[in-house]
Homo-oligomer: A and B are copies of this chain.
Amino acid sequence: MQALWLEDRRLRLRDDVAPPAPSAGEAVVSVLLAGICNTDLEMVKGYYPFTGVPGHEFVGRVEAAPSAPERVGSRVVGEINASCGSCEACRAGRRTHCERRTVLGIKDRHGAFAERLTLPLQNLHDVPESVSDEAACFAEPLAAALELQEQVDVRADDRIVIIGAGKLGQLVARTLGLRARDVLVVGRDPKHLRPLLELGLRVGTASDLPDARADLVVECTGNPEGLALATRAVRPRGTVVLKSTYQGNATLDVSRLVVNEVTLVGSRCGPFVPALGLLAEGRVNVASLVHARYSLGDGLRAFEEAARPGVLKVLLDCAP
């Protein structure tokens, strides 16, 4: 089958990738549409040593499901962590932290920039009729944005600052905007701030940020400047959520965290059910986040485009 293939930091288009075969309890999904995420871009830069088909944001259709034939034909999105169910983390209910997990397009499992992928049936969620393919592609990053609300008690009168108005910052802003009245999004690119303003959120630049005032800061830039800004903006006993990974180590004013008794919370994959719910109810608009759509065959050009500064979501049409 056709697929993008990452090896030694080089991405190429191949036509000879063997279609994945489902293990017990897994389904084969034909991919309709897939989204390029910053993690994909960073993997190409060598951030993570993955060889194979990247891609983990997708919507597709169940093509085969040996143990559940009734699911064939369903339009689905999928949780990306395939867990063993028996390690200590799984038994404790932390399945996304399974010690033996494979992760779609990230770790030991070929991903979504291909005609087909496999995932355990239990990872798949049917997509409601009312959710378009484009919107369904955002289920995974929207779930990741919602994860912080599973970890931190967000209150309606919290003063919230979101650092970064890129792909993830946009989704975090939209979801927190539904929960709290005072949300300020800090970003560099006015064209990404404008739509947030229209959603009723406040926007600004780093210089608009008062020192040590925010109850909750969400860092969505993945760069050390964003992290430094976040630790400055949060009030004593406030919380900083880290939604982005960083290349290499970042330096941090740890004494400030101690003296101000700040809590830092790392946050990764999140719950699909509420994400699909928000999309189905139209409460989170994602259409404006789509920058461009390419065919899988044009995947290399799509990656080039997605890596340009200021570009939001680039989608890949994977249906042959």
* Chain A residues packing against B (C-beta within 8 Å): 89, 94, 97, 151, 227, 235-237, 242-247, 249-255, 257-268
Contacts and interface: CB of A to CB of B under 8 A. Distances in A.
B266 A258 contact: yes
A264 B151 CA distance: 13
Greatest chain B CB density within 10 A among A251, A254, A259 is at: A254
Contacts of A227: 254
Given A94-B236, A151-B263, A246-B254, 16 more contacts: A97-B237, A97-B261, A242-B254, A243-B258, A245-B255, A245-B259, A246-B255, A246-B258, A247-B255, A249-B251, A249-B254, A251-B251, A258-B268, A259-B266, A263-B263, A263-B264
Contacts of A252: 249-252, 254
A259 B243 CA distance: 9
A259 B254 contact: no
B236 A257 contact: no
A267 B267 CA distance: 21
Contacts of A250: 251-252, 254
A35 B242 CA distance: 38
A257 B242 contact: yes
Nearest to A47: B255
A261 B257 contact: no
A249 to B, nearest CB: 4
A245 B258 contact: yes
Nearest to A263: B265
B266 A263 contact: yes
A264 B237 CA distance: 12
30 contacts: A94-B237, A97-B237, A97-B260, A151-B263, A242-B257, A242-B258, A245-B255, A245-B258, A245-B259, A246-B254, A246-B258, A247-B255, A249-B252, A250-B251, A250-B254, A251-B251, A251-B252, A252-B252, A252-B254, A254-B266, A258-B266, A259-B268, A260-B266, A261-B268, A262-B265, A263-B263, A263-B264, A263-B266, A264-B264, A264-B265
